[in-house]
Structure 1
């Protein structure tokens, strides 16, 4: 594992963090893991991908918070006082396990999923957080999802709040802070290409 370099990217919604991760992975010819991690978890837990997605990097509604996975043949015999691990915890723990195994397998880029925290003891971890100016984020989301600027701003606020809650509830660290991340990069000030350039140089010189 010592030879493997792992780049983890935290990001504000609409900052272009996923695109930056994708461009970087393409340049370096290494895998990118993001939504495909959710797919892996769903397959392992034998649940629908939509169900795993619902608790991935988001706050939980009351239904999902209490939703558990238990084999049908045992479910009717479970004592009411016996603890059953909620789906959210099962998804998170399995996702962490998969992230660790992927990091052992080879170099890669991982977007979100608290990967920076999961791999915090890895000496070859490059942990960055991508942010961007509010105006640029609103424009990008409005364009991508065909929304008005007002609705785009509301969506950004909601997703950022969910990502912040997900990250902080699992790590105890402040999402997007210098305490939690090795480097904060503003894609609005640097530009997408320059941001990727910086990460590529950092990766090659690590």
Structure 2
């Protein structure tokens, strides 16, 4: 039975969920698993990180042909044989296996990738969701990606829609819903530092049980 504590972070785009996870990992001196999960899955599937990224946290790949070719960099073959399974499904399955393996190994913070659902059998999981007011998220994305207001608003809307569809299709749960999360943090009210402070205190108290 897993005795160490795991934190999962679901997040709205532009809410600062990755930054919360990154700062928290530094304070607690535990690993952060986010975009590196894509690279791990890509390596095990023997595809490029770019190809894995294209289907990461999006459900679109499930509706495309299993025999896509992306600029000649891959085809939907595994070990030289056609798998008949969409790349998005294979990436999800491999990431899920990696998440479970890493969670068994030791404490860590998992951002996105349906980690709360994948680790649903583990009792020592603190499942959180980071959100913020839309205007604050748009301003954050404008600054991060050097976009104008309309471009940032479109990117926020598109990314949130993809994450919602991905999560709900994979889990059958409501994305950002209270049934999937132990607690939720509004970074418009708390700020990034406030959310990190709260989660650090919760983690340390939880880990002492």
Q: TM-score, normalised by structure 1?
A: 0.92
Look up the match of 1:79.
none
Supply the distance in 2 between the matched residues of 1:176 and 1:198 (Cα, whole angstroms).
19
What is the deviation of 1:62?
A: 8.0
| Unpaired segments ≥5 residues, structure 2 | 68-75
Consecutive aligned runs of 4 or more in structure 1 exceeding 3 Å deviation? 61-65
Is 1:110–2:118 an aligned residue pair?
A: no
Cα distance per residue 1:147-188 (max 9 Å; x no partner):
011110000000000000110000000001111111111011
Q: TM-score, normalised by structure 2?
A: 0.90
Partner Cα distance (2:161, 2:12) in 1 = 10
Residues 1-206 of structure 1 aligned to structure 2 (within 5 Å) = 2-60=2-60, 64-67=64-67, 68-72=76-80, 74-75=81-82, 84-206=84-206
State how many pairs are aligned.
Answer: 198
Give the Å deviation of 1:66.
2.4
In structure 2, the CA distance between the partners of 1:65 and 1:20, relative to structure 1 (3 Å rule), is farther
Describe the shift of the 1:34–1:65 C-alpha distance in structure 2 as closer, same or farther (beyond 3 A).
farther
Cα 1:61–1:105 change in 2 (3 A) is closer
Q: Measured at CA, do residues 153 and 102 of structure 1 come closer, stay the same or move farther in structure 2, by a change above 3 Å? A: same
* Structure 1, unpaired ranges of 5+: 76-82
